[in-house]
Copies of this chain bind each other. A is one copy, B any other.
Amino acid sequence: MFKKLERTKVFRDPIYGYIEVDLELISKLIDSKEVQRLRRIRQLSGVGMVFQTAEHSRFCHALGTYQMARLVLLKVEGIKENLDEYEQVLFLCTSLLHDIGHGPYSHAFENVLDVSHEEMSARIITYKDSDIYKILVEEKINPFDISSIIRKEGKYRLIEQLISSQLDVDRLDYLSRDAYFTGALYGNIDRLRLLRSLIIKDQKVLVRASGLHSVESYLMARYHMYFQVYYHPVARAYELLLESIYNRIKDLVANNIKINANLEDFLAILKDSNNIKSYIEIDDNYVFGFIKQLIKSEDEILNKFANAIENRHLFKYIELNKDINLDLIKPYLNKKYYYYESSVSAVAYLTTLGKDNINIYLDNGKIIPIEEYSSVINALAVSSYKEVKRIYYFEG
């Protein structure tokens, strides 16, 4: 039996009205150093350069994902029969902690570190000196159960689906949230309708046939959010400035050239991505703090890109699938730090993800893949695939 707080704690939230915390364990996790760190990491990285109001942090998404998990436990038919008390709390904890491993401006960061943020999440949660680890152990939740879910090891199949599949608490929160904070209306999905459409049977998340339309609508919303928000070329054009700085630092370090800025923890994780102690120190403030110093760097490259960040002098880009004139970018072609090729793609629904697929629960009890039930989704799965290739180059 997990200990309840004397009085339910609430966090005001524009998406849910209130986020409610009634377990002491959850309350302690929220106050942990590692969860608090998410306050200092922007949810949408460079997207704020296009949608100027999208400055919300990963912290509020962590709380929101937890709240979605709470709603799943309260509203979805069959959930209580399929998860015992330990598993219910495990689900809540995982929803809160699933993004704990994100670094600042994650895309650029992952490219340089070469470790996924999911893997970093798992490592932090099982790192014995982290607040999280200590709290979990003290409150009788095995941290390795959470990392197992994040790593999708199959031990808790139902929770894995609920946390990460093509229809999960993570997406249900972030689509709504990112739509709210950008002002883009596409992501305005009908969360309550979706929740009512779900049913849990034999450890599987299923969608009732009557809820088909709400899933079709959700998939389209997700698809449009990808191209209109998450993949916006200007966001990438900004993040590449960071990537060039990281790459330059790597090269200077490799050549034993000293950089005049506070980079200790960053250099530590470049050397060893298992250095969780240093990893946790690194957040948006940390990165923009050393970039502030690099503005006056003696290294011309660092100096240039640090100033570019400050003054929003972004990479330029052209799309490759048009009849473009490559002469334009000739001087930048393949020039280190100044040139990147990038490709983004999305499809409204992927039929090949096996256990992450969406299945329909028919009135007669039969279960079939959604693409067999919905000709719309079948069509989208085939034809909505869209890939955009871009060349980014930096002038100056």
Contact = CB atoms under 8 A, between A and B. Distances in A.
Q: Is the interface of A mostly helix, strand, loop or mixed?
A: helix
Contact of A18 (B192, B289, B375): B192
A227 interface: yes
A63 interface: yes
Contact of A52 (B59, B180, B262): B59
What's the interface size class on A, roughly? 35 or more
Contact of A311 (B36, B213, B295): B36
Interface in A376-395: 376, 378-380, 382-386
Given A220-B217, A224-B217, A262-B262, A281 B292 contact: yes
A36 B192 contact: no
Interface of A: 7, 10-14, 17-18, 31, 33, 36, 39-40, 42, 48, 51-53, 55-57, 59-60, 63, 77, 180-186, 188-190, 192-193, 196, 213, 216-217, 220-221, 223-224, 227-228, 261-262, 281, 284-286, 288-293, 295, 310-312, 348, 375-376, 378-380, 382-386
19 contacts: A11-B52, A12-B184, A18-B196, A36-B311, A36-B312, A39-B312, A55-B55, A55-B57, A181-B181, A185-B188, A185-B189, A185-B190, A213-B228, A261-B262, A262-B262, A286-B292, A289-B290, A375-B386, A379-B383
